[in-house]
């Protein structure tokens, strides 16, 4: 756990963005003894007026890497958060005939956990209030409605100077910090200004997938209409529907498809006919009116992957979370990975005695390969979720993988287990282990194939010698 107050210096830190990663970063740095100001362009999500604007209930899957980081920052906070999750032990595959088949995620009943994004963000902000009231360490100043519009590095120390504009009064204010941590999301403004100073290799990669949020209401007495302990998937190859459970008996469902398809479903009849044809059981759960209204009124989201290298400017600025490594959501790792990045950064700060230049350089150097691996896995997992989960070859390989996992306990680890349930295994190590294991599986399959052919030839020769005279 984070304990030691940083004896080095009461440095002043600006954290940009009070999303999930920014809030946890502010908390963690405060606990290390820094004076933190957290800037957020939106209003406080806990205000009634803001809540009403934000009626959609997006939920996320939190797994080992995210939980580990929460615990690292604050055990009690992790406990509070985990009290409000719904465990999902596997995928429930809904085929086009309405049959359901469970595919477990773990070898021993492990689960990823569904959590309301808004709740998590608000819990992190509440925790900041608790810390501030406790009087331990420096209070965290949280400034809502403040947008970063410029960043430069000035003076002998090259301290970061940020220009912040108030979203209501449009007044600008300049702040100087010892360093800043930028957690302002995939379309990070900080990253844009940072690129004037850092020779940063940068790639922003949109995929041709659009997502629309839908919902499955709760049944009578807040009951769940489908199994709450699964992540439900309706895989249809080029498009799919998924659903994650909420505490109140409802499910947040998301439709993914190409942009062309999503945009072509532009009348009530087209939407209904499409869902009747491809997601008949899903449509019954969502309800016709609810589907049409959500499909037409909810925004169509785009999906983007962000690659950067390096992530820092000396010991003065560093990108974290989606600002550094935004990824498509198909491995459920975006936030988990962002939290893990923070934990690793904190460990490096500790190891380097809070010398930010050494720690940030080390972070950029060592974290990059892991981030590239998870970005690729996230992208590849779209095919797995929308198509492979129904393929016989995939299912056979999964069965062999799980069988070996149980047989060779600890010595054989399915990839999903390593990514979602073993936060102690870096992403890059997980993929190396997976490659080795898959080679073994391929050799086993080849041996079984050759063995079967050999046996078939032997048997046919035997019968030929007996009966064909
Ligand atoms: P964000 O959440 O984007 O927060 C950035 C914050 O910065 C925002 O509050 C924004 O208002 C603020 N900001 C932006 N610009 C400025 C500025 N100029 N000045 C001040 N403030 C600014 N991840 C998982 O781990 N599991 C999942 O199951 C999962 N499912 C997902 C499903 C979908 C459909 C999507 C789109 C993503 C999913 N993710 C999931 C990814 C996850 O949502 C992100 O990785 C996570 O929210 C990143 O957090 P962040 O704090 O880095 O960025």
From the alpha carbon of 211, which atom of ligand 1 is closest? 34
Cβ neighbours of residue 167 closer than 8 Å, sequence gap 6 or more: 41, 43, 145, 146, 147
User: At residue 7, does pLDDT exceed 90?
Assistant: no
148 ligand 1 Cβ < 6 A: yes
Is the distance from the beta carbon of residue 45 to the nearest atom of ligand 1 less than 6 Å? no
- pLDDT for position 388: 81
ipTM above 0.90, yes or no: yes
Residue 4 predicted with pLDDT over 50: no
Rounded Cα–Cα distance for residues 416 and 331 (Å): 9
For residue 469, the model assigns a pLDDT of 58
Q: Find the mean pLDDT for residues 406-424.
A: 95
Segment 178-188 mean pLDDT: 98
What is the DSSP secondary-structure string of 392-421? Answer: HHHHHHHHHHHHHHHHTTTTS--HHHHHHH
Q: Evaluate if residue 248 carries a pLDDT over 50.
A: yes
- Is the distance from the beta carbon of residue 39 to the nearest atom of ligand 1 less than 6 Å? yes
Neighbours of 146 (CB within 10 A): 23
The best mutation among 17, 164, 189, 251 to test binding of ligand 1, ranked by most ligand atoms within 8 Å of the C-beta, falls on: 17
Could you report the per-residue pLDDT of 112-126, keeping only the tens digit for each?
Answer: 999 999 999 999 999
Mean pLDDT, rounded, of the chain: 93
Mean pLDDT over 314-318 rounds to 97
Residue 5: pLDDT above 50? no
**pTM, whole model, 2 decimals?**
0.94
Distance 322 CA to ligand 1 centre (A): 6
pLDDT at 54 over 70: no
Kindly report the protein residue whose alpha carbon is nearest to atom 36 of ligand 1: 329
> What is the rounded average pLDDT of the residues 190-214?
96
Cα R_g (the chain), whole angstroms: 25
- Sequence-distant (6+) residues with CB within 8 A of 231 are 61, 88, 90, 91, 92, 112, 114, 242, 243, 244
Predicted confidence (pLDDT) at residue 59 exceeds the cutoff of 50: yes
pLDDT in tens, 75-107: 999 999 999 999 999 999 999 999 999 999 999
Tell whether ligand 1 has an atom less than 6 A from the beta carbon of residue 19.
Answer: yes
Q: Tokens at residue 126, please?
A: 């509440």
Distances (CA, A) of 266 to 32, 56, 207, 278, 291: 52, 21, 21, 17, 13
Which residue minimizes the CA distance to atom 33 of ligand 1?
329
Question: CB 66: neighbour CB atoms within 10 A?
Answer: 31
- Provide the percentage of residues in the chain whose pLDDT is more than 70: 96
* Among 117, 186, 232, 322, residue to substitute to test ligand 1 (most atoms within 8 Å of Cβ): 322
- 128, pLDDT greater than 60: yes
């Amino acid at each position: 756990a984070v304990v030691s107050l940083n004896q080095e210096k009461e440095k002043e830190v600006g954290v940009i963005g009070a999303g999930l990663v920014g809030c946890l970063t502010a908390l963690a740095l405060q606990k290390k003894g820094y004076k933190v100001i957290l800037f957020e362009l939106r209003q406080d999500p806990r205000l009634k007026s803001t809540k009403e604007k934000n009626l959609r209930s997006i939920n996320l899957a939190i797994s080992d890497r995210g939980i580990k980081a929460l615990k690292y920052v604050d055990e009690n906070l992790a406990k509070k958060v985990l009290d409000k999750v719904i465990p999902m032990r596997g995928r429930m595959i809904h085929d086009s005939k309405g049959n359901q088949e469970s595919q477990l995620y773990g070898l021993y009943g492990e689960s990823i956990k569904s959590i309301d994004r808004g709740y998590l963000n608000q819990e992190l902000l509440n925790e900041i209030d608790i810390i501030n009231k406790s009087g331990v360490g420096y209070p965290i100043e949280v400034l809502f409605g403040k947008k970063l519009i410029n960043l430069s590095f000035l003076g002998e120390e090259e301290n970061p100077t940020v220009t912040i504009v108030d979203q209501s009064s449009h007044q600008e204010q300049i702040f100087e910090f010892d360093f800043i941590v930028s957690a302002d999301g995939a379309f990070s403004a900080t990253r844009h200004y940072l690129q004037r100073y850092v020779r940063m290799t940068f790639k922003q990669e949109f995929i041709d997938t659009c997502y629309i949020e839908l919902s499955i209401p709760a049944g009578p007495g807040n009951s769940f209409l489908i199994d709450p302990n699964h992540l439900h998937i309706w895989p249809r190859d080029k498009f799919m529907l998924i659903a994650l459970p909420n505490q109140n008996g409802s499910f947040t469902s998301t439709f993914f498809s190409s942009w062309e398809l999503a945009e072509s479903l532009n009348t009530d009849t087209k939407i209904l006919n499409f869902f009747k044809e491809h997601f008949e059981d899903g449509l019954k759960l969502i309800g016709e009116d609810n589907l049409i209204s959500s499909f037409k009124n909810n925004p169509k989201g785009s999906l983007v992957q962000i690659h950067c290298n390096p992530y820092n400017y000396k010991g003065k600025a560093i990108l974290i979370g989606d600002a550094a490594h935004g990824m498509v959501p198909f491995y459920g790792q975006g936030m988990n990975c962002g939290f893990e990045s923070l934990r690793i950064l904190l460990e490096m700060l500790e190891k380097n005695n809070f010398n930010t230049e050494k720690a940030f350089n080390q972070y950029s150097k060592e974290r990059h390969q892991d981030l590239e691996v998870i970005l690729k896995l996230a992208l590849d997992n779209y095919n797995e979720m929308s198509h492979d989960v129904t393929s016989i070859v995939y299912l056979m390989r999964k069965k062999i993988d799980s069988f070996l996992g149980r047989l060779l306990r600890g010595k054989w680890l399915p990839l999903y287990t390593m990514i979602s349930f073993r936060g102690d295994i870096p992403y890059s190590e997980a993929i190396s282990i997976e490659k080795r294991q898959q080679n073994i599986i391929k050799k086993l399959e080849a041996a079984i194939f050759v063995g079967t052919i050999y046996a078939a030839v032997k048997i046919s020769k035997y019968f030929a010698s007996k009966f064909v005279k």
